[in-house]
Each structure stands twice: as C-alpha cells, then as structure tokens.
Structure 1
C-alpha cells in the first residue's frame, strides 16, 4: 500500500447548490455551457444555470450523445477556439462531462483532438472545467478520466489527465426527480461495477479501501432493493453520492485494479450502442466465472461482507450468482442478445476491436488474453 492521493475537485452537494457556480466561475471568464439532448430545459436546470450566470458572458452547445462522439464534440472545440472560451461548464451526466473534458483538452491543441485518445498527443494543458451533474453513474464529475467514441470507425477509447478533472462539481439530488427509470437503474449498475473493478482482485490487506468499497456495495445493493420506493430525497442523495465516491479515487488508492469488464464492454457500446452500464452487467458475471481462481478470496470476502452469505466451499461461485441475481432483479441484462447477427460473428467482431485497440492483456494479473476474452464472450453473448 504505497500511493499518492489527491482529489482537488470541490463538491457542492445538496438542493439549491447550482447557485454556487456564480462564485466558482471567475466573473471575467467567457463560458461555454455544454449539455445533451435538452432535458435540462424541461426540468428547470437550464433556468437555474442561466440565473447563476446572468453576470457572466456565456454561450451554450447542445447535442452531446449518451456515448459522446468525437464528431459532435469537435464542433464544440471549434466554438471554443473561435470564441476565445475561458471556461467549460458541463451540465449533464457522465457522457456530457466526459465530452466536455475532451473539449477542454482539444481546445488547447492545434491538431486533431482524437490524437489525445490514440496517444499521438500528450495533453499539456486544458481549459478549466466545472460540472453540474444531472445523472449519477460514472463519477466523471470529480475524476480525471473520460471515454470518447469515434463513430466513423466504431472506436471507443479512454484518456486520463489531471488537467481535465473538474475544478468543482454541483451534485443536487433534486435534478434526479425527472430521470427515466432506465437511467436510474444504469446509474446503480455503473457505480456497482466501478467499485467492483477496484475491489474484486486479490487481497492486499488494505482494510480501509476494502471496508469503504464494501460500504458502497452494500449501499448500492440496498438502493436497488428499494428501487420501487425511490421517489424520496434520501434515496436520491445516497445514489448520487455513492456513484460519485465509487470513482472518486480513494477506494482505488494502493490496491490492484481490474477494468477488463470495462475494456470489453466498451466494444459492445461502440459496435452496437449498448448502454455503457448494461455492457458491464453483460460482461462481468462471465468474466468473474472465467477468472474465479484469481479472484476467489475477494469474491468470498464480498459474499460474506456484502451479501451476508455463509461460508462454504462454493462461496465464490454463490457470490457471482448473487451479483447476477442483483442485476436481474433490476432488469439488467447479463447476456447480450441484440447483436443482430449470429453468435460467432458477434464474438469475432468484438475480438477484432480488442485486437485493434491493443487490449490483449487485461485484468489485474494481465491474464485476460484475446483467447480468454473469447472464452468470456462465449458465455456473455447469446
């Protein structure tokens, strides 16, 4: 357990906190407000932003997709450059925040922004960025990571850099009141798998990180069990903060990380536009069963401390079953059926993408080769 941990993002949590952006964004800044399909104009968030920025100079850019594409985001980059934008304000869920990170970095680069994703260009600086979260799921509002899709080539790639971490984020649970059921379920699943990717690896004796991860998992499990009674402030607050903390950086400090579920899941999204969270619930159970001997000790720990399962020789196996049952209870898919082709063709398409992106040794042990990924997909794709 040796690490350096720093997360300087300021979080304004609670009802009415959107007003805090007035003082958070320097008065002299020219602001580009980036959002998605326009729901913020129906639920009152856009009006609150307008009021908070009434003494600022600002423009807006809409249309960022649920899986943000380079093609759309490059239009915002062009505006940022042409208009001399000083500050980016993302208003939306993780996709809008991820896309805004791309805009913030690409606006300070003269070349093609996709070079950031391929590693051709190393970020040197980015425009400062703030976020108003409308959908709890990814934790992107206070971390330095983003995932962007290039629609033209069906590539979905991540990047990370400290300069794109939002300097502040507003988490007002009231904005969740009008979210569709599907997005709330996705939020639970996304936060759950984020926690698992930093927890279900090998024992490292990190009692604080393990204990905090288990608290998040128990909380998310409870929120899932209470889903039918979700229309209350306490439920919304706990989901919004759990999703934030799942990828805030603390539970991942000084421990092993997996992320193979994410890397394989990204390809389902890029190829067939599967919801990000659902790509994870499709892949994870099959991956855990494939890698069970590496992960047995932590799965047993999770079974005892999260699901309250009794000790037995098959505790790890029963823990995976419990994870899958949790997903099924929420109506989340654990097998992929909507590929529109035969199983072999679908698997080959994913393997080709993993090969193209260099995802040939995944997981905390780098043990998930392309052949192993194929075995996982054999069980994850119907």
Structure 2
C-alpha cells in the first residue's frame, strides 16, 4: 500500500427529515445565498423547506446553474455575493450545483482572473467561503469531497480543480428528495458512481486490501440496487443505499493508498464539452472501451474484478476479462444508458476534435501510470464507436 494522507471534515446529516437541521448547521447570523439548478427544487417544495429551516436569516437565491456548471453563470453568483456582502453559501441540488458552489466559494475572495482557479487545478486557492449542501441527486460524491468540475462555455474548456478549502462544512442527505427525479437522471447517477469506483479500483495491484474490498462492495451494491431504484422510485431503502454509495464512491476513502486512473473522466469531459452529452453517459461510452484497449496493463485487476464483482471464475484469463468487460457494458445498458458513440450520432470523424481538446488542456499523459498518451486516447475513442 502507498503512503497516504486522508482528511475529510464534511459532516453528514443522513436520513428522512434532515433538511430541518439547517436551523442548527447554518450559523445563526449568516447572510445566505442558496444556489440551485432548475425550477424542480422549487416545484417539489425543497426550496420552501430550506427557506423555512433557515428561519429569520437573510437569504438570497441564485438559480439556473447548468447540468455542466458554466464559469459565466457562476461569475454572476460571485458578483451577487460580493455586492450583497453574503457570507454563507448553500447548495441545493446535485453534483453540478455543488461543484458550481465550490467554484463560487473559491472565487469570491480571489482577486485575479477567477479562471486561474480552474487552469491551476486549484493550486491558487488559499481561502474559500463556508458552504453547506442539501443533496437532491446522488451521483458525483461532490457533497463530501474537495473537487469540482466547471466549464467555460466560450472556449468549451471543461476543467477540474481541487482544494482543501472547498470541502463542504456539512451535507444533508435525505433520500426522499430523490423520489421525483427523472429516471434517466437516476440511471446516470448509478453509472457515475460506478465509474468513480472503477477509476480508483481498476488500476494495478497495490496491496490495498481494505480499499479493494470496500470498492468491490460498492460496485456490488450498485449492481444490486441499480434495477431497484429505477423500478420503484419511492423505495426508501434502495434510494438511501444509492445515496450513501455514491457519497462513499468519491469521498477519498477508497482512494487512500492506491493508484488512481481518471482517464475515462478526462476523455468523457471533452465529449460533454464538445457535444453536450450527459457526463455519466460519456463515462458509459468510454469505460468499457478503455478497459478493452488497456487490458494488458490492467490484466491483474481485471481478473480480480471479474472474480470478486461478477463471480466469473471459469474460462481462460482472456475469456474472463472479456466477460467482465461485457458484463460492465451490459449493466450500463440494462439501466437504459447507451455505451457507444454511434448511439449519439458520433463516429470516427468526430475523434480528431476530442484529441485536440485533450491536447489543449494538457491531458497528454493520463492514467495510473501516465501512459495514456493522445495516441492511446485515440484508440480508446475508436473502440468506443
């Protein structure tokens, strides 16, 4: 196992009815900005519930944060915070709203060009506003980590930043808030969480026995509950387990002491930026192809994955690897999530643009060994067609 430093200060308030705990979790004298996405938060009554819990605090609202939060939109929120001298942020939504809130928290006190935060991947962040979260869509794990993804619409640049300063102070996880979600978004959440685990697990053996078993348990949980959360939207147990699994998939625990890949995400980000495909759906396209193209370097962990997650123990090593990759693709497709570029009317003629974007954003040595070159990224995209 590799050396590691694990720190996660986010407090989790989990369960039905926990939105009311905002009354104790948000400072009594705070001047609060609630950030959210579309009008579903208002339509479902979540915003009204949040407002009621905040009581007599000064509260402003900022809506319209996109599914891929844009720098341009978020800078308007930064301007509002500065002009009204607000001092606490509250994200009400899924990963995109929380990611956007992290950027706002970091940008408010940054005196240079705020896009520096993204281009430096967070190294220029020295302070950030305090904020909390009310999670309504389990998927990204952003509610309990220090990472954020933001897109600059003008340049189609979708970049990642991370900073110890943007851990949420708290996150409220009430599974009942997911009941009204469109099933396509729920399916996306399952795929997103699954791929998060795979990026940290399916690399090469590092004797992280605890981390491996945690990761395998999370994957098996998602496989088990994926069909349930789609079949019965008000199945509290299924929704609760999905919400907590998605949080654990990217809160730092299973990454401690082991190598991480993230090439599927980096390639997927460019597909989203160029073609507007949902983030999770780009992952479903890229991951099976990525495993196939890199099966030699991932050989040992692919066999472990086949045996421990899918119970595949018969056949030659190559046959077991083939079967594990096929089962992964089949799982995504069983959730109604396509796994080929052609499902989005994209083909080989669209690959050059993705490669140019990867190069422009410095994504020329991806993966756990830094060996996913632009040439290898091209092969992965070709296998995704």
TM more than 0.5: yes
2:340 to 327, 335, 339: 335
Q: Distance in 1 between matches of 2:65 and 2:232?
A: 31
Counterparts of 1:218 and 1:159, CA distance in 2: 30
What is the CA distance between 1:311 and its match in structure 2?
3.4
CA deviation digits over 1:105-139, x for unaligned, max 9? 00011222111001197001000010000000000
Aligned to 1:135: 137
User: How many angstroms does 1:23 deviate by?
Assistant: 1.1
Equivalence map 1:178-217=2 (5 Å): 178-217=180-219
Gaps of 5+ in 2: none
Task: Measure, in 2, the Cα distance between the counterparts of 1:48 and 1:110.
Answer: 35
C-alpha distance in 1 between matches for 2:125 and 2:269: 23
Whether the 8 Å CA contact 2:12–2:172 is kept in 1: the answer is yes
What residue is the counterpart of 2:313 in the other structure?
Answer: 310
CA–CA separation in structure 1 for the residues paired with 2:227 and 2:236: 16
Which sections of structure 1, spanning at least 5 residues, go unmatched? none
Alignment of 1:229-268 (within 5 A): 229-268=232-271
Runs of 4+ in 1 over 3 A off after TM superposition: 338-341
**Other-structure match for 1:48:** 49
Q: Equivalents in 1 of 2:182, 2:220: separation in Å?
A: 23
Q: Which residue is 2:155 aligned to? A: 153
Cα displacement string for residues 204-260 of structure 1 (whole angstroms, at most 9, x for unaligned residues): 111110000011000000012333244311011000000000001100000010000
| Greater displacement, 116-125 / 159-168 | 116-125
Distance 2:379 2:173 in 1: 40
Q: Does 1:9 align with 2:14?
A: no
Q: Secondary structure at the match of 1:337?
A: helix
Matches within 5 A, 1:95-114: 95-114=96-115
Q: Is the Cα contact below 8 Å between 1:87 and 1:127 reproduced in 2? A: yes
Question: The residue matched to 1:109 in structure 2 has which SS?
Answer: coil
- Mapped pair 1:280 → 2:262: no
TM-score normalised per structure 2: 0.96
What is the SS of the residue equivalent to 2:35? Answer: strand
CA contact (8 A) 1:272 1:339 kept: no
- Report the Cα offset of residue 338 of structure 1: 6.2
Q: 1:159 and 1:36 mapped to 2: Cα distance?
A: 20
Q: How many angstroms apart in 2 are the aligned matches of 1:36 and 1:185?
A: 19
Measure the CA separation in 1 of the matches of 2:345 and 2:251.
37
1:177 is the counterpart of 2:179: yes
Q: Which residue of 1 aligns with 2:358?
A: 354
- Give the whole-Å Cα distance in 1 for the aligned partners of 2:310 and 2:348: 35
RMSD: 1.3
Q: In the alignment, what sits opposite 1:319?
A: 324
Q: How many residues align?
A: 380
Query: What is the rounded CA distance, in whole Å, between the counterparts of 1:74 and 1:323 in structure 2?
Result: 39
CA contact (8 A) 1:146 1:160 kept: yes
Match of residue 301 from structure 1: 304
* Pairing partner for 1:374 from 367, 373, 378: 378
What is the Cα deviation at residue 171 of structure 1?
A: 0.2
What secondary structure does 1:12 align onto? Answer: strand
- Residue in structure 2 matched with residue 73 of structure 1 by the alignment: 74
Q: Counterpart of 1:292 in 2: which secondary structure? A: coil
Q: What TM-score does the superposition give when structure 1 sets the normalisation length?
A: 0.97
Distance in 1 (CA, whole Å) between partners of 2:343 and 2:149 is: 23
* Alpha-carbon distance between aligned partners in 2 of 1:312 and 1:367, rounded to the nearest angstrom: 29
Measure the CA separation in 2 of the matches of 1:378 and 1:46: 44
SS in 2 for 1:293: coil
> Residues of 1 paired with 2:345 and 2:153: CA distance?
19
Q: Distance in 2 between matches of 1:7 and 1:376?
A: 34
Native 8 Å contact 2:92 2:98 kept in 1: yes
Structure 2: distance between partners of 1:337 and 1:161? 37
Report the counterpart of residue 30 of structure 1 in structure 2: 31
